[in-house]
Amino acid sequence: MTTLSDFRLIRAAQMLFFLNTGIWIGLGLGNLVKLVNGHSNSTITGLIIAVLMFGNALVMLVCGVSLGKQHRRSFYLALVVLVVNIILTVTDQFGLVDFITLVIDLVLLGILIADRRSYSL
């Protein structure tokens, strides 16, 4: 049974996933603007990066929506997405936006681990 504090943790996690979604959409759009304005060295590479950013935004959105259903597979999907994002963030160029997404991902990971019992684990 989900308690009020569990419900709040789930909602907090969902909101952070939705925030991450917005950030990744913004990054994807920014990358496309660079391509259109000719500020990218490689059009194909820039386009692939933009598509990957939009894909990441979509997966973040799916995680945020599915966490509310409290299924075990939603929990594991969210964990995998977060771990992959954390690893990719720290192994690539690191700037302010990377730091912000890393903090959000780490907070999300902490929330999910703290609230794992809500997902029938």
Summarize pLDDT for 16-57 with one digit per residue, the tens: 999 999 999 999 999 999 888 887 678 888 899 999 999 999
- CB 23 within 8 Å of CB 97: yes
pLDDT at 1 over 60: no
Q: Write down the pTM of the prediction.
A: 0.88
- Residues of the chain above pLDDT 70, percent: 94
- CB 49 within 8 Å of CB 32: no
Token pair of 68 as six digits: 């509310």
- CB 78 within 8 Å of CB 67: yes
Token pair of 109 as six digits: 């990971």
